[in-house]
């Protein structure tokens, strides 16, 4: 098996036995503990999530929940009465009043919203619309970049990353033959450090997911007040 295929299998969230799926399930177990500290029914906003994810993990939550999924576009919609779909942008959630939700959950989304400016706006909106939150993102300093699955990819200059993406598929990202589109693709993911997560969520705490001595992911969290 090639190194690339091995790394892809480790990071494959669609496989229940992959390392990535095991980390995701353990991550949700922590969030479920936060949910169960709130009086039911617990109103949850999931930024960028899917109904399939909640259906797969519902057994881990022992209290009644009402989940609002927010995405720019939904390809499919659940018919379950405890899941609501809202189309919108996590940087500008003007459809929600202050503290509309007990908790906000976001898994590997904030690194995709654009520049640091965009990430600041998303973090502000999360803190505004929810009394508590659980926001996970890959750690910039982890040696394996989790989208392109190339070691130390995030530290290469963007022109070099674009040129490499023009040559072949990399990780979850398909080959892009146009240079400007390839450059836009690689620059559309901005990984965060622990210091930046603390700045973005100053009223929360930072939890570090570890692989041995290395921090794989960062979680900014705050209990619902």
Token look-up 């999360």 returns: 126
**For the whole model, what pTM was predicted?**
0.90
Question: What does the pLDDT profile of the chain (225 residues) look like in tens digits?
Answer: 455 555 555 555 555 565 666 777 889 999 999 999 999 999 999 999 999 999 989 999 999 999 999 999 998 899 999 999 999 999 999 999 999 999 999 999 999 999 999 999 999 999 999 999 999 999 999 999 999 999 999 999 999 999 999 999 999 999 999 999 999 999 999 999 999 999 999 999 999 999 889 999 999 999 998
For residue 224, give the 3-state DSSP assignment.
Answer: coil
Domains of the chain, CATH where assigned? 3-141+189-222 (3.40.50.150), 148-188 (no CATH)
Q: Outline where DSSP puts E strands in the chain.
A: 42-47, 65-71, 83-87, 101-107, 130-138, 205-211, 214-222
Q: What is the dihedral of CA 65, 58, 27, 46, to 10 degrees?
A: -50
């Amino acid at each position: 098996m090639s190194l690339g295929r091995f790394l892809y299998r480790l990071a494959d969230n669609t496989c229940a036995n992959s390392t990535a799926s095991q980390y995701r399930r353990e991550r949700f177990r922590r969030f479920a503990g936060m949910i169960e500290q709130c009086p039911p029914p617990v109103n949850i906003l999931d930024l960028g999530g899917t109904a399939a994810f909640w259906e797969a993990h519902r057994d881990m939550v022992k209290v009644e929940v009402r989940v609002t999924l927010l995405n720019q576009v939904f390809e499919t919609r659940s018919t379950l009465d405890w899941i609501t779909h809202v189309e919108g942008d996590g940087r500008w959630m003007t459809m929600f009043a202050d503290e509309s939700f007990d908790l906000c959950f976001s898994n590997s989304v904030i690194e995709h919203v654009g520049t640091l400016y965009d990430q600041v706006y998303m973090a502000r909106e999360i803190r505004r619309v929810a009394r508590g939150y659980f926001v996970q993102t890959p750690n910039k300093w982890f040696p394996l970049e989790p989208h392109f699955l190339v070691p130390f990819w995030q530290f290469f200059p963007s022109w070099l990353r674009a040129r490499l993406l023009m040559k072949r598929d990399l990780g979850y990202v398909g080959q892009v033959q146009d240079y400007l589109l390839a450059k836009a693709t690689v620059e559309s993911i901005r990984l965060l450090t622990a210091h930046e997560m603390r700045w973005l969520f100053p009223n929360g705490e930072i939890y570090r997911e570890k692989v041995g001595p290395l921090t794989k992911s960062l979680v900014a969290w705050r209990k619902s007040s």
